[in-house]
Structure 1
Amino acid sequence: MIKLRLKRFGKKREASFRLVACNSTSRRDGRPLQELGFYNPRTKETRLDAEALRVRLSQGAQPTDAVRFLLEKGGLLEKTVRPAETIGKLKQAAAREAAVKQAAKDAAEAKAAAANESDDSGTDSTES
């Protein structure tokens, strides 16, 4: 299977990446089948060979997550929602709802406590 992945090059701590097509069993920095673009994460510079990428994608090449993000940003792929993103968003929504319910419950308890204090202070002043 052909994968579209990033191949690291550059100095230590100053990495840049080439977008390459390579066999899925080859090493990260191994010899690629074809170089298809360039990405510099420090300057956010991206150069993509759109025609060659379209050819490779039509041949069934599978992009990695990082490459998929770059291709979506470059307009070569439609943005898709992966199942992991959906699950994460559902968990976040559930957590937000739980936080809102907890805040409402805390507010109701505080209001009830304040009402009890005012009732207690009112009865103390009449007894004296």
Structure 2
Amino acid sequence: MATKIRLARHGAKKAPYYRVVVIDERAARNSKPIEEVGRYNPCVDPSMIDLDLTKIDEWLSKGAQPTDTVRCLIETARKEA
């Protein structure tokens, strides 16, 4: 099974709130994830990025591929930590 680390959209209209999830790459955007590894809220200033980097590193070692957006969020979180 090919897995991806990507965003799942939640929140209201024009007020998005994202969860960073590990999910099968063929699943729909808001399908049930394998595991939730973080949260991202772009609507607050500054943007809230809350990632569990140890879980993300585990999934990356297992072969999960992050999307471009999630890759940028991971890099930002590592710089802040």
TM-score above 0.5: yes
Pick from 42, 57, 60 the counterpart of residue 54 of structure 1.
57
Distance in 2, matches of 1:51 and 1:68, equals: 15
Q: Deviations over 1:12-67 (max 9, x none)?
A: 11010000000000001111000000000112001001111110011010000110
Greater length-normalized contact order (CA 8 Å, ≥ 6 residues apart):
2
Distance in 2, matches of 1:53 and 1:65, equals: 15
Q: After the TM superposition, which residues 45-124 of structure 1 pair with which residues of structure 2 at under 5 Å, given as runs?
A: 45-75=48-78
Q: Secondary structure at the match of 1:75?
A: helix
Hey, what does 1:16 align to over in structure 2? 17
Which of the two has greater helix per residue? 1
Which of the two has greater strand per residue? 2
Q: Does 2:32 correspond to 1:31?
A: yes
Amino acid at match of 1:73: T
Amino acid at match of 1:38: R
Distance in 2, matches of 1:73 and 1:29, equals: 24
4+ runs deviating over 2 angstroms: none
Amino acid at match of 1:19: V
Distance in 1, matches of 2:59 and 2:4, equals: 9
Which of these two proteins has the greater Rg computed from alpha carbons?
1
Amino acid at match of 2:63: G
Number of matched pairs: 76
Q: Secondary structure at the match of 2:72?
A: helix
Q: Secondary structure at the match of 2:50?
A: strand
Gaps of 5+ in 1: 77-128
What is the CA RMSD across the aligned residues, in angstroms? 1.1
